[in-house]
Amino acid sequence: MQGGNFDHLRFRLSEILSATNNFSDTFYIGSGGYGRVYKAELHHFDGINPLVVEGKNTGEIHKRHTTVAIKRIITRVDTQAEQGFFTEIELLSKCRHSNVVSLLGFCDERSEMILVYEYVSNGSLENFLEKKDRRINFTWAERIQMCLDIANGLNYLHTSTEDKRCIIHRDIKSANILLNNKWEAKIADFGLSKLHYAREKYSTLATNNIAGTQVYLDPEYEKTGRLKTKSDVYSFGVVMFEIMCGKLAYDKTYDEKGLPSLARQCFVERTLKNLVDPNIEKVDMLFSGFDQESFDMFTNVAYKCIAIAQSERPTMEFVIRELQKALNIQVFFIVIVIVIVVVVVVVVVVVVVVVVKNKGRLHISLNAMNMGTQNFSDSSCLGEGRFWKLYKGEVEHANGYSAIIAKRWDSHSRKGDDQFWKELAILFKHKHENIIHLIGFCYEKNEKIIVYEHASNGRLDKHFDDVNLRWMKRLEICFDVANGLKFLHTGGAEKDDKIIHGDIKSGSILLDDDWNAKICNLECSCKTMVYDRAEHIDDSAYDSLGHVDPKYKSTWYLTEKSDIYSLGVILLEMLCGKLAWEEGCEDHSQSLVPLAKKHYETNRNLNEMIFTGIKEQIEPLSLTTFVRIVFQCLEDEWDERPEASEVVIQLKEALGFQVSYHSFIELLFCLQCICTLYRQKPGTYPHFHVTIQIKYIQVLYLNKV
């Protein structure tokens, strides 16, 4: 050992034998390639210099009695163990950082090689990742913080100071990252480390002895023998991906090349989310995982770390800055979500109070619901969602006895319970002619049922191929849906109460006796743009898949413009007379929207895709206006899609063209009838003149509507 006095770090062998009961298996906690590790209690000096306490030289020697980790190194023929023993003493005796494991002392009596470290209670990161039945899982923010801990420790090692030279660890891997009782990460095992003058002109060490662990090993160092601090950066990048994936880099689920190669491939293909540890979503159930911007920042820096060429890898200072930004963004995201949750809880409390006050008026007994729906028989079922089923029936309620639609929630689902209260809260507060009207509810014997007004013509998606649903009525229905969305998006009378529906689709539109459209299924709604791996969107139901905003698939964000995209899909379904995602459709490329876009790019019209049952009814200007607003709604980027209010205006314009055309056709028919009558009965000219005047006034009036 070169330089410095290490006497204050030397333990007597008798102390260690006494503390471990002659290295009894009772104290054994693990082993590595060079020795066995024991857990025991010892008196030891606290710090690099025992005379220094909190930066002041007291002239007194201070000792502490704590739990320590004792590593007994096994002698090897190749002397590598002996070299590692002296290297650790020389390097760690000069290191003091909260993210680097502390060397408390050593023993070299009777040819023994023993190192004494601070005890890090939660073991190695490798052991944690190997466990399949973990009792604890980390949130996304905690994973970033863990990477920050390692990065700070590594940056300390790479930085030369007056007290120490630059240290290249050479074996950064999850097995050499220890976790304390607060789950803070500490870098350990410096047996392969090298001292390095980082401030010299050439900051590369040439060595014929390649050291490290495969999968984590810098490929350029392995190939050329040129060792740099960037070699540690590569290994750290691999650990970052391990922490993100929740698996070790050499896990059997990866191919022979291991995690780094797969991570680089997925980064280029933009499919890294397929590698993310699913436990993140479980532990972050309230916050639905991670913020997209935070995730992108994390993966960008991790990808740079595992670049093949050393020159393309960042410094640890850059890594720390980027990880800190990613952490700040995630924490801010969590704060925002907490605020939203608090608001939702307050709303639910208000709803519960209202429910209690209005229970006599709005509550419908379970007995009445059972009788009115024939005990929720299959013959009464109209459809179902992930956590509910829809039934038709007739029940007595506050406004009399009438036909109703009952939405019965899964009584065993916590998610269903949350959605029940959310939809009930929204329907209590948001009343509009194009939003389904709340008749009442049932909350009894663990049953949760919302009772809607009756919609005798059922769901919109059942009528697309109906030739009796003429183009004029289809336009009116589209106008109703857009008008209902406009109400939700603008907050109605209360401008601060804006709602994103989150699941607009033709199956969420009900039609009453007069074919007026009513938006329903508001259980997935929210009050602001939200990051949400929405279960109803992940579901494989045909009626959901075809309406999903493609921007959601790449960002996991739902916004008002996500509703607008879904509205555009409904408009296209109405024009083409078919579902966006029909049975047998295998992927998005075969669904209605991409097919329509491709057809329009080729032909500059959709004439060949228009439903034959309505094709001859459509006025050309009405069609042009309608198709224009359809493709505006279906734009890929949020800011290129219109507001709901703009859609309403353009649909009204398309409807106006169609009304005028319809009136004109009626007028021509009327004239034809009068001419026929005049030829049959001469002298009816005055009646003919009056009829023309009446129809002319009607046309002028309809144009103003």
Cα(319)–Cα(605) distance, integer angstroms:
51
Residue 56, burial from CB neighbour count under 10 angstroms (0-12, 13-18, 19+):
exposed
When pLDDT is averaged across residues 161-165 and rounded to a whole number, the result is 77
Provide the CATH number for the domain formed by 363-453 in this structure. Answer: 3.30.200.20
Q: Structural domain boundaries of the chain? A: 1-48+63-119, 124-362, 363-453, 464-661
Per the rule left: phi > 0, alpha: psi between -120 and 50, beta: everything else, 498 is beta
When pLDDT is averaged across residues 54-62 and rounded to a whole number, the result is 50
Q: State the pLDDT at residue 53.
A: 40
CATH 3.20.20.60 at 124-362, yes or no: no
Q: State the pLDDT at residue 314.
A: 95
Q: State the pLDDT at residue 677.
A: 66
Cα(59)–Cα(388) distance, integer angstroms:
75
The HSE-up count of residue 200 (CA atoms within 13 Å, CB side) is 10
Q: 3-class SS at 214?
A: coil
Lowest mean pLDDT among 104-108, 244-248, 287-291, 551-555: 287-291
| Residue 301 pLDDT class (50, 70, 90 cuts) | very high
Cα(514)–Cα(454) distance, integer angstroms:
12
> What pLDDT digit, counting tens, does each position of 5-32 carry?
677 788 999 999 999 999 999 999 888 7
Cα(621)–Cα(624) distance, integer angstroms:
5
Looking at residue 180, its amino acid is: N
| Residue 76 pLDDT class (50, 70, 90 cuts) | low
Nearest to 451 by CA among 504, 378, 401: 401
When pLDDT is averaged across residues 453-461 and rounded to a whole number, the result is 91
Task: Render 507-555 in DSSP notation, one character per residue.
Answer: GGEEE-TT--EEE---TT-BSS-EE---HHHHS--HHHHTT--HHHHHH
Instruction: Report the run of H or E that residue 411 belongs to, with start and end.
Output: none
Kindly list the distances between the CA atom of residue 555 and the CA atoms of 295, 587, 593, in Å, as whole numbers in the listed order.
Answer: 10, 19, 20
> Which residues does the annotation mark as catalytic?
171
Q: State the pLDDT at residue 7.
A: 75
**Spatial contact of 370 and 376, defined as CB atoms under 8 Å apart:** yes
Nearest to 560 by CA among 515, 499, 510, 609: 499
Provide the CATH number for the domain formed by 464-661 in this structure. Answer: 1.10.510.10
- State which fold the 1-48+63-119 domain adopts: Phosphorylase Kinase; domain 1 (3.30.200)
- The overall pTM is greater than 0.85: no
Beta-carbon neighbour count of residue 71 at 10 Å?
Answer: 23
Q: State the pLDDT at residue 189.
A: 87
Nearest to 141 by CA among 338, 357, 304, 314: 338
* 679 Cβ contact partners less than 8 Å away, ≥ 6 residues apart: none
Name which residue leads in pLDDT, 87 or 370: 370
Nearest to 504 by CA among 409, 435, 431: 435
Asked if residue 464 has pLDDT above 90, the reply is: yes
Asked if residue 679 has pLDDT above 80, the reply is: no
When pLDDT is averaged across residues 152-165 and rounded to a whole number, the result is 87
User: Quick check: do 1-48+63-119 and 363-453 share a fold?
Assistant: yes
Asked if residue 413 has pLDDT above 50, the reply is: yes
Residue 409, burial from CB neighbour count under 10 angstroms (0-12, 13-18, 19+):
buried
Cα(315)–Cα(320) distance, integer angstroms:
9
**Spatial contact of 613 and 465, defined as CB atoms under 8 Å apart:** yes
When pLDDT is averaged across residues 179-198 and rounded to a whole number, the result is 85
Mean pLDDT of the chain: 83
